[in-house]
Amino acid sequence: MKELQSLNKFIWKYRWQLITGFLMVILSNFVSVYSITYVGSAVNDIENVLSRYTSGDTGDLDQVKKSLMYAALLFIGLKVVAGGFMVGVRLMIIATSRHIEYDLKNEIYKHYQKLSLSFYKTHKTGDLMNRITEDVAYVRQYLGPGIMYPMDLISRAAIILVFMIKIDPMMTLYALGPLPVLSFLIYRVATIISRKSKEVQKQQSEISSTVQDTFSGIRVIKSFNTEETTKKNYAKEAVDYEKKSLSLAQTQAYFSPLMILVVGVSNLLILYMGGIRYYEGKLDIGIIAQYFMYLNMLIWPFTSLGFVTMLVQRAEASMGRINEFLKQSPEIENQIEEKTAVSGKIEFKNVGYTYKNTGIEALKDISFKLEKGESIAIMGKTGSGKSTVALLLARMLQPTKGEILIDDIPYEDLNLHSLREAIGFVPQEAFLFSDTIKNNILFGSISDGDSEKAIHYSKKAAVHDNIAHFKNGYETILGERGVTLSGGQKQRISIARALIKEPEILVFDDSLSAVDTETEEEILKNLQSEMNQKTTIIITHRVSSAKNADNIMVIDEGRIAEYGSHSELVAKEGAYFNLVKKQLSEVE
Ligand SMILES: Nc1ncnc2c1ncn2[C@@H]1O[C@H](COP(=O)(O)OP(=O)(O)OP(=O)(O)O)[C@@H](O)[C@H]1O
Ligand SMILES: [Mg+2]
548 pLDDT exceeds 80? Answer: yes
Q: What CATH number does residue 9 fall under?
A: 1.20.1560.10
Nearest CA to ligand 1 atom 6: 355
Q: Report the percentage of the chain scoring pLDDT > 70.
A: 98
* Ligand 1 atom 16 nearest Cα: 385
540 in contact with ligand 1, CB cutoff 6 A: no
Question: CA 212 → CA 206, 227, 230, 235, 263, distances in Å?
Answer: 10, 15, 12, 15, 47
Of 494, 534, 529, nearest to 510 by C-alpha is 494
226 found inside a domain: yes
> Ligand 1 centroid vs 70 CA: distance in angstroms?
84
Minimum-distance ligand 1 atom for the alpha carbon of 386:
21
| Residue 357 near ligand 1, beta carbon < 6 Å | yes
pLDDT band at 250 (very low <50, low <70, confident <90, very high): very high
Tell me which residue has its CA closest to atom 28 in ligand 1. Answer: 383
Name the band, by pLDDT with cuts 50, 70 and 90, for residue 458: very high
Ligand 1 atom 7: the closest Cα is on which residue? Answer: 355
CB 228 within 8 A of CB 191: no
Report the separation in Å between the CA atom of 241 and the middle of ligand 2, taken as the mean of its atom positions.
Answer: 41
Mean pLDDT of 56-65: 76
Instruction: Please tell me the distance between residue 428's alpha carbon and the centre of ligand 2 in angstroms.
Output: 6
> How many domains are contained in the chain?
3
Is there a single domain that holds both residue 153 and residue 210?
no
Q: Is residue 339 part of a domain?
A: no
Same domain, 426 and 502: yes
Of the listed ranges 75-89, 146-160, 448-462, the least confidently predicted one is 448-462
Going by alpha carbons, the residue nearest to atom 14 of ligand 1 is 385
**pLDDT mean over 399-420:** 93
Q: What integer pLDDT is reported at residue 34 of this predicted model?
A: 94
Residue among 119, 354, 355, 379 whose CB has most ligand 1 atoms within 8 A, to mutate = 355
Average pLDDT, the chain: 88
Overall average pLDDT of the 319-344 stretch: 88
pLDDT, residue 525, reads 87
Whether the CB of 380 sits within 6 Å of ligand 1: yes
Give me ligand 2 centre to Cα 515, in Å: 16
Residue 300, in any domain of the structure: no
Nearest protein CA to atom 3 of ligand 1, as residue: 355
| Whether 162 and 173 share a structural domain | no
Instruction: Tell how far the Cα of 413 is from the centroid of ligand 2, in angstroms.
Output: 27
| pLDDT value, residue 94 | 92
Specify the long-range contacts of residues 221-229, CB closer than 8 Å, at least 24 apart. none
Is residue 32 within 6 Å of ligand 1 at its C-beta?
no
In a domain, 119, yes or no: yes
- Cα 557 to the chain's mean position, in Å? 39
Compute, in angstroms, the gap from residue 386 CA to the centroid of ligand 2: 5
Q: For residue 290, is it within any domain?
A: no
222 Cβ closer than 6 Å to some ligand 1 atom? no
Among 27-41, 102-116, 261-275, 558-572, the least confident range: 261-275
For residue 397, the CA-to-ligand 1 centroid distance in Å is 12
**Pocket of ligand 1 contains residue 388 by CB under 6 Å:** yes
Q: How confident is the model at residue 444 (pLDDT cuts 50, 70, 90)?
A: low
Residue 447: pLDDT band by 50, 70, 90 thresholds?
low
Residue 295 is assigned to a structural domain of this protein: no
Q: Length of the chain in residues, anyone?
A: 588
184 and 162 within one domain: no
Contact 311, 142 (CB under 8 A): yes
- pLDDT over 80 at 285, yes or no: yes
Q: Is residue 299 part of a domain?
A: no
Indicate whether 319 and 187 sit together in one domain: no
| Per-residue pLDDT reduced to its tens digit, 335-367 | 888 888 999 899 999 999 999 888 999 999 999
- One domain, residues 478 and 382: yes
Model pLDDT, residue 588: 57
Determine whether the shortest distance from the Cβ of 428 to ligand 1 is under 6 A. Answer: yes
The residue whose C-alpha atom lies closest to atom 18 belonging to ligand 1 is: 385
- Which ligand approaches the C-alpha of residue 555 most closely? 1
Alpha carbon of 141 to ligand 2 centroid (Å): 45
> Would strands 505-509 and 409-410 be described as parallel, antiparallel, or unpaired?
unpaired
The answer to whether the beta carbons of residues 330 and 116 sit under 8 Å apart is yes
Same domain? 473 vs 541: yes
Whether 321 is in a domain gets the answer yes
**273-290 as b/e: b if 16+ CB within 10 A:** bbeebeeeeebbbbbbbb
State if residue 118 touches ligand 1 by the CB under 6 angstroms criterion.
Answer: no
Band the pLDDT of 445: cuts 50, 70, 90.
Answer: low
Q: What is the pLDDT of residues 85-112, one digit of tens each?
A: 999 999 999 999 999 999 999 999 999 9
* 149 and 277 together in one domain: no
Range of the domain at 211: 169-282
Sorting pLDDT into bands at 50, 70 and 90, what band is 587? low
Regarding the beta carbon of 9 and ligand 1, being less than 6 Å apart is answered no
Determine the average pLDDT of the residues in 393-410. 93
Is residue 386 within 6 Å of ligand 1 at its C-beta?
A: yes
pLDDT band at 68 (very low <50, low <70, confident <90, very high): confident
Q: Are 144 and 175 part of one and the same domain? A: no
Statement to judge: residues 470 and 502 lie in one domain: yes
State the DSSP code for 516. -
> Which residue puts its alpha carbon closest to atom 30 of ligand 1?
383
Mean pLDDT, range 377-395, rounded to an integer: 94
Ligand 2 mean position, distance from CA 519 (Å): 21
Q: Look up residue 293 and give its amino acid.
A: M
Instruction: Write the pLDDT tens digit of every residue in 193-210.
Output: 878 888 887 788 788 878
Q: Is 385 in the pocket of ligand 1 (CB under 6 A)?
A: yes
Same domain? For 28 and 54 the reply is yes
Nearest ligand (C-alpha, residue 382): 1
> Percent helix, strand, coil in the chain (nearest 5)?
70, 10, 20
Residue 135 to residues 107, 138, 320, 433, 489, Cα–Cα distance (Å): 14, 5, 9, 27, 39
DSSP 78: H
Give me ligand 2 centre to Cα 384, in Å: 8
Residues 325 and 276 in one domain: no
CATH of the domain at 432: 3.40.50.300
